[in-house]
Amino acid sequence: MASSSQSPFQDEVQINTIEMHTAGEPLRIITSGFPQLKGTTILDKRKYLKKHFDHYRKLLMFEPRGHFDMYGVVLVTPDVEGADIGAIFMHNEGYSTMCGHAVIALGRYAVDHGFVKNPTSPETRVGIQCPCGLVEAFVEYQPGGSNCDNGRTGAVRFKSVPSFLFAAGLTVDVPGYPVQTVDVSYGGAFYAFVTDSNVGVALKSSPMRAVAEAAHAVSEAVKSKLTISHPDSDDLAFLYGTIITDGKDAFSSNATANVCVFGNRQVDRSPCGSGATARIALQYFKGHIGLGQSRTFESGATGSIFTGKAVQEVTCGQFKAVVVEVGGKAYYTGSNTFSLEREDTLGHGFLVL
């Protein structure tokens, strides 16, 4: 719990947000009241936020304003050509390099709130600069409506950064679990993949906290075993989480289920957009699917759905990679104005594990 007698907040706090969810996973979009972030690039700004203003993340993600599994984004001025907005993602442990569910929500938000000057029908392109690179979202757009009417189906698809299989069949020892091997794949963030049978849980019947603990144990084992690298930046080279799947990786028209656990045992309510991207790359490079073959991913937490497919072969440094397209739906849930009273030390943010 936060109990410091000296507040890290030097000025009056009043922060406005728009609240959305994508396939059940929350997104808190910070619209005003957040400090200016210094830096030339988005990765510089991410570092600056982590070093100087991490207390704002805790204020907005933690209780009493958020919860253990809250997710948020602060918008920044992009620094790459083709981007309409820049996004730095935050969660219960820190800062993501990519977030597909947030991209889906931000695509719709950007169209509805004027970040794209000339929206087009039936789809409007939105360039979103994420810490991992430029991601293109395509938002179903129906002109003539008000904020929450534009794209009222909520449908958005995005094309992510080049994604690749980093390590296949990695042997790991996970104390307390029967895991023998895992795969590690990149979809804007690095994930370990393991089947539910290999960790002794059932995605649709085991308590979600048991699934989260199993995934966290796998993540810790992989971190101790594997040195991760990325051709573009060392800031991208870390294991973000573990995705437990039902093992149905071979191409099928039926849905395949998974649960993504990232950060500090944080459970994604959606099928996980960057996770679906990484899983498509894994399936493609292990020969389970071909270009253009669409898979349906089901969240083991909520039953919500994303679609995904590999659409183009590319390279990423020394890796053979694919561009992956992921689709889902996002909806508005409300708005907030948050404040902090000077004597409220618990209001700085706390988590009950």
Query: CB neighbours of 67 closer than 8 A, spacing ≥ 6?
Result: none
Instruction: Please provide the DSSP assignment of 129-197 as one string.
Output: EETTEEEEEEEE--TT--TTTTTTT-EEEEE-S-BEEEEEEEE---TTS---EEEEEESSSEEEEEEHH
Tell me the C-alpha distance between 284 and 49, whole Å: 36
Which member of 99, 130, 132, 260 is catalytic? Answer: 99
Query: CB neighbours of 128 closer than 8 A, spacing ≥ 6?
Result: 83, 84, 85, 86, 87, 103, 106, 107, 110, 134, 135, 136, 137, 158
Cβ atoms of 317 and 39 within 8 Å: the answer is: no
DSSP-based three-state secondary structure for 284: helix
DSSP E strands in the chain: the ranges are 14-22, 25-32, 72-76, 85-90, 95-96, 123-130, 133-140, 155-159, 164-171, 181-186, 190-195, 239-245, 256-262, 266-267, 295-299, 305-316, 319-339
Determine whether 130 is an active site residue: no
Six-digit token string for 65: 């304003």
Q: Which sequence positions are flagged as catalytic?
A: 99
